[in-house]
Every structure is written in structure tokens, then in C-alpha cells.
Amino acid sequence: MRRAGLSFDAEDTQRSHRAPSASSAPPPRALRPISLLTLLLLLLPAARADDAWPLPQAAERAFPSVVKVYGAGGFQGVPAYGTGVIVDERGFVLTAWSIALRTEALKVVTHDGRRLRATLWRSDPGLGAALLRLEPPQGGLPSLQPLRLADSTGLAPGDAVFTIGNPFGIIYGDERPAVAWGVVTAIGSLRAGGVDVARLPERLERVIVTDIPGNPGSQGGPLLTRDGRLVGIVGRLVESRATNTIVNHALPAADLVEFVRGGVAAERPIPEPPRVAPRARAGAAVESGLRLQRVHLARSPMAYVEAVVRGSPAEAAGVRPDDLVFRLGERTIRSCRDFDEALAAHRPGDTVRLVLKRGDAMREVTLTLAAGGP
């Protein structure tokens, strides 16, 4: 049993892990060692108003590096405006990839209201990022204050983070963009979050999900830790069909370092990499030996096992007819289509975990996939 409480309130912790219906006799009291944390907390001086909250200073330091980006369009719900971060004093701006950036009329407005032309220097829809290069006006580029990408690998759910952006494109000239703060919700794949990745150009396999509301125009802005380290770039708005909510997320800095370094080092704009069809699979077909009940409906039915091929991996693993496939690997199987997609991501020889519902019990089996027929 895991303890839910922190150790400092030993009294409450003693009462904590009781079933609501359990007997009312109090459990024996035991003194727990007071943790070092407790002592440290006790020694904390009463927090003075803003000393304890570093956001104003961190935002102040970041503002000069945040720019407004104006592209083309405003079509198909894609905002023509966004946010960017100066990442190199030689005039490089990192932002979120958007189709609106594919224009000759790309403009960037710096924190002091200077309006500069820019070129789409490097873009990678698969990564979700774009690097713009500011075109020096007559007299050369103004002095730019870049923010460097920081180490994002230590971030964990609950960490305080903030963004600076141009939501709804309401900020003009030298007006300051908007600061919004929240916490890291999760770090991981948007695919697990039910975002239909097949419909998105971005890979979105490793993102920082936050509880900071995203709005059109926020994309491309910096995601900063409370002490102002640049740990990500706010991604474009995506909706999860698992929750019907906008999944606010940022691309982790760790995935952008190489993209920026390569772009800055390039002599001329780097052509966009060809898009990889999201569902294109390399490897050979796999065979599980498991046959699903494929009732012909308008929609794909649940993944009930109809038959198990003799001598197949499924038979060896003990799969039986009428089992309902609930998970394959980490993926929840809600339909035959889910099963097919999950299986297609594997190669012959892979060992996969299947969670099955058989009657009123769940069973877990592992099976080693064989090579499929032509």
C-alpha cells in the first residue's frame, strides 16, 4: 500500500489509508520520523509577497526575445499570426511549423516594434517546428537578444511553467505579448492522448502537455520554467477526440537543439523534408494467428476473437475464441480497426502483450508474432 500523504503530518497519515467501510477502531499510533523536508519547511521564513514568485523577473528577461510572426492566410482555421523566439543573435527565430509560414510576405515584429521581413529558413512538419531568418534591413539587423534552448529532460508533471504569446493576434507593434502560467500535465505521446495523429503533420510522439490554455496565435511562443529557462516551443492547437479538449502542448527543447543548430549553420534555406505518410509501414506483414469477428457494419466492431489458427502464436499463448482483445501492447483496442493498426506497427519476431477479457476476468498473455503471408 502506498502512502498518499506526505510524511510531515504523521497524525493524518495514520488515519489516511482506511477503507470507508472499515471498522472505526483507530489504528495503533506510531511515531514516524520527522522528515528532513518537514524541518526545512518549518525553517522557511514566511514568504514575502513576490520574492517567492520568480515569474515577473523571468518574463522580463524573456520579453526582448519574443517576437510576433505574421504569415499568410487565415484560411481553414489556420491563424496567419503566431509567436516566435529569437534563438540566435544573427537573426534566427524559432517558431511552430504552420502552413501559414509558406509565404514570401513573412513578417516578424520584434519586442521594440520593429517590423522585419523574414524567410522560412528551415521547416520540418514532422517535428512541428520552423526556423525563420530575419532579413537585414538597410543599416543591418538591430541588436537581438536571443534565448538559448535549455535542457528539457528533467521536466516532470507538476512543474510550474509559463508561456509568452500573441493569442488571437491582439498585440501590435511594441505591445508586450501575454504571459500565461500553469503546470506540466504530462510528458509523452499525443497519440496516447487520443489525438488522431494520422490527421496531423506533426509527429507529436514526445511532447510536453500543459494546463496552460492555448489559443490561436500562441503557437511558436516560448515555454519557460519558472526561472526562465527555455524548455520548449508551444505547438499548434490540436484537439483530442479522447477528451474533446484542446491538448495544450509544447515541443521539447531537447528535440529542437539539432534542428536549430543545423539551420543556423546552413548557408542557404534548407528544403523541407518530404512528408512521410503517417501510416506507411516498412516491415513485413505479421501473423498473430488470431481471427476477429468481423461483422460488416458501417463502423468497426469490438475486437472479439472468432477463431485461433492451429499452431499459431495466438494458440501458443492460450488465446481462445470469444476472448475480447482489450489491449495490445500499451494500446487500448476499442475496435477491430484499432487491433489491425496496433498489429501493423509490429514486425515478425516481436513479443507483444495482449490483455484479454474472458468472461468476467481479465487475462494477460504474451505472444511472439510470426511472419505473415504475402
Site for another protein in 107-146 (CB under 8 A): none
Under a CB-based contact definition with an 8 Å cutoff, are residues 342 and 329 in contact? yes
Please give the radius of gyration of the chain, using alpha carbons only, rounded to the nearest integer.
Answer: 26
- Beta strands (DSSP E) in 125-228 are 129-134, 160-165, 178-188, 207-210, 222-225
Q: Give the one residue of 25, 36, 46, 277 binding another protein; rule: CB under 8 A.
A: 46
6 binds another protein (CB under 8 A): yes
Kindly list the distances between the CA atom of residue 272 and the CA atoms of 48, 130, 262, 322, in Å, as whole numbers in the listed order: 51, 10, 13, 48
CB of 366 to another protein, least distance (A): 13
Under a CB-based contact definition with an 8 Å cutoff, are residues 211 and 185 in contact? yes
Region 263-322 residues binding another protein, contact defined as CB under 8 A: 297-302
Of 53-61, 80-88, 230-238, 285-293, the window that binds another protein (rule: CB under 8 A) is 53-61
Region 24-43 residues binding another protein, contact defined as CB under 8 A: 29, 31, 34, 38, 41-42
Site string for another protein, 189-208 (x = CB under 8 A): x--xxx-x--x---------
DSSP three-state, residue 323: coil
Helix (H) or strand (E) holding 213: none
CB of 354 to another protein, least distance (A): 11
CB of 82 to another protein, least distance (A): 21
Size of the site for another protein (CB under 8 A): 83
Region 232-251 residues binding another protein, contact defined as CB under 8 A: 239-247
In whole angstroms, give the CA distance from residue 307 to residue 292: 7
Kindly list the distances between the CA atom of residue 183 and the CA atoms of 159, 188, 225, 247, in Å, as whole numbers in the listed order: 5, 15, 9, 13
Of 80-88, 125-133, 310-318, 323-331, the window that binds another protein (rule: CB under 8 A) is 323-331
Nearer to another protein, 103 or 300 (CB): 300
